[in-house]
Each structure stands twice: as structure tokens, then as C-alpha cells.
Amino acid sequence: MDSKSKQGYTDNPHFETMSSDFLYHINISTSSHDLKKLFSDVKFVCIGGSNGRMLNVAKYLAKELSSYMPETVDFTDLTGSSDRFVMYKVGPVLSASHGMGVPSMSILLNEIFKLLTHAGAKDVTIFRLGSSGGLGIKPGTVVVTTEAVNGEIKPVYEQFILGKRCERASVLDQRIAEDVKSCGTSEDDFEVVLGKTMCAGGFYEEQGRLDGAICHYTAEDKFTFLQKLYDSGVRNIEMECTGLAALTNQVNMKAAIVCVGLLNRLENDQVTTPVEKLHEFEMRPAKIVGRYIKKKLDEA
């Protein structure tokens, strides 16, 4: 597909022939919403798995970036009655949930890319603020992804399109990863590290767990694979990174993936961290990314 098909954050020659567009899963339409008025000033998009966490992220960023916020910030879920995802706008930041796994996230990304294109938003950076299983790191450590790899430890995202297997490179901007990492300070009570992230198609067998309902390998097989991942530079495992890297690369949107490791998979399979601690862990990526966004807004 040639560059003529690229308009805003899309890569689709059919896009410009559409007279109206209903973004079904976020319940926003070009015919009922003035997208330019509502979203043209968006510069940062934060996405993460759960609805509740992305409301907390919106509230946290509204407070941390208060000098860049309107006088009153409205925490109304912009997806209204969609009941699939939530999305909040706080000043120049969108905070939205994407559910679990690449298929769910890819639906949200397609609709956010189109939303921002209809709105004429420019120079947008997207962050996934996620949870993950750490590899050889202390629980609570934040990993900023340098390379997103699939279950074969390759930096590709596989899709089946019109009956054909299609591989897209999962490319991430190293400069942003390093800049985000550098937002961690020695005063934080957790570490921020750079590392590769493995994207799994499931939580149990696909992540080498022994505690799923189905498992046809030995504990030794599991540790051999996790050690191989660790030796390849992988520091955490989650379920969205290759999709995010490949899809944002396709539309030229800058992206970073910042996930907290909830446990060390070289020691455990079950996530047994107390719930208050988990909630505190889960806000750590937002703390780091909040500082990065503040720095960028101060520089602008």
C-alpha cells in the first residue's frame, strides 16, 4: 500500500471515501459529534487493560498535570453506553481501557486512530500502561519495552487477513523508551528498567504457567523456556505489546509500553499479591508516564 493511502493516523485508501463513520465500540460518530472541537488538541493517549484503572489514571493525570488542565475536568466516560471500553479526556490526554489481549486492544486502536484522524490531531504519542509477569525482576518493578517479541521471541505481529498470514514488524521508538525510563528517580521505592517484552496469546499455557486448567509440559520444560526468554533479554510477559508496536508503527504514531511486573515468573505462577499492593503497583506506570508527559508539555 503506497503512502497516498496514509491520512492522519490511518493507512487505508477506502477511509477518505467514507461519508460518515460510526466508531461502534467507543460509541462515537462523525455525524453526531464535532470531533475536531472535541479531540483536535489530544497529544497523548494512555491505554490500559481495565476500566477502573483507566479512570484512576485519568484522575491521577488531571492532578499531576493540573496546570495544563481546563478549570473543571469532567470525568464522564465518553463512550457513554457502549459498555465495551471506557474513555476519558483530561486536557491534552485521553485515557482509555483496551480489555485483555491483542484482539480487544486492536479494535480500540483502530477506533482511536480514526477518531484522532477525523479530529485532525497531530504529534500524538500513545502509551500502554499495563501489568505483566516479570522475569527475573523484583515484583513491582516497572519495565519499559525496548522490543516487543512474539511467542517465538521474534519482533513480529501475525494477522490473518483475507485468508493469508500477514506479518507486521513490531517496531518501537528506542528514544522514547529511554526517555520514559529516565523518568524513574532514585527517590522512587521501585525500579524502572529497560527490557524486551514477550506478547502471549493467553495467560496460562501461552505464558508457560503450570497452574492453568490445561497443561501438557513439565516444570523443567517451563523453566527452560523462561530461562531462554530471560537470556534473550526478555524482562516481562504480557498480552498486547506486539500488536501495539506493529499497529502504531503502521500509522506512524509514536508509542511506548510501560508495564509493572506483578510477580517474578522465575519464582511463581499465581498472582497472590494483596489487592491494595496490586493497586499501588498498577499505578506505577502512570507515575512514570505522568512525569514524561509533564516534561514534554513543559518543553512545548
Dihedral, 183, 185, 190, 194 alpha carbons, nearest 10: 50
Rounded Cα–Cα distance for residues 165 and 146 (Å)? 25
∠ CA(158), CA(53), CA(264), 5° rounding? 65
**If contact means CB under 5 to 8 A according to the sort of partner, which of ligand R2B, ligand URA, none does residue 240 touch?**
ligand R2B
C-alpha cell, 133:
509477569
User: Residues binding ligand URA: what is the number (CB under 6 A)?
Assistant: 10
Q: Residue 186 or 270: which CB sits closer to ligand R2B?
A: 270
In terms of Cα–Cα distance, which of 105, 129, 110 is closest to 54? Answer: 129
Q: Residue 133 or 136: which CB sits closer to ligand URA?
A: 133
Which of residues 57, 87, 129, 239 is near ligand R2B by CB under 6 A? 239
Only segment of 103-111, 190-198, 214-222, 236-244 that touches ligand URA (CB under 6 A):
236-244
Q: Residue 116 or 263: which CB sits closer to ligand R2B?
A: 263
Q: Residue 203 or 292: which CB sits closer to ligand URA?
A: 203
Maximal CA-CA distance, the chain: 58
Helical packing angle, 102-119 and 241-250, nearest 10°: 30
Is residue 44 a contact point for ligand URA (CB under 6 A)?
no
C-alpha cell, 89:
479526556
Is residue 242 a contact point for ligand URA (CB under 6 A)?
no
Q: Which residues contact 115 (CB under 8 A, 6 or more apart)?
A: 23, 26, 28, 35, 39
C-alpha cell, 46:
494512555
Is residue 240 a contact point for ligand URA (CB under 6 A)?
no
Please list every residue from 125 through 164 that binds ligand R2B, using CB under 6 A: 130-132
Report the residue number whose CB is nearest to ligand URA: 133
**If contact means CB under 5 to 8 A according to the sort of partner, which of ligand URA, ligand R2B, none does residue 176 touch?**
none
Is residue 238 a contact point for ligand R2B (CB under 6 A)?
yes
Q: What phi and psi values does residue 35 have, to the nearest 5 degrees?
A: -65, -35
Give the contact letters, 49-68, x = binds to ligand R2B (CB under 6 A), - = no.
x-------------------
Partners of 44 in the β-ladder? 93, 125
Is residue 145 a contact point for ligand URA (CB under 6 A)?
no
Rounded Cα–Cα distance for residues 250 and 173 (Å)? 13
Q: Which residues bind ligand R2B (CB under 6 A)?
A: 49, 100, 130-132, 203, 238-240
Q: Which residues bind ligand URA (CB under 6 A)?
A: 131-133, 203, 207, 237-239, 262, 271
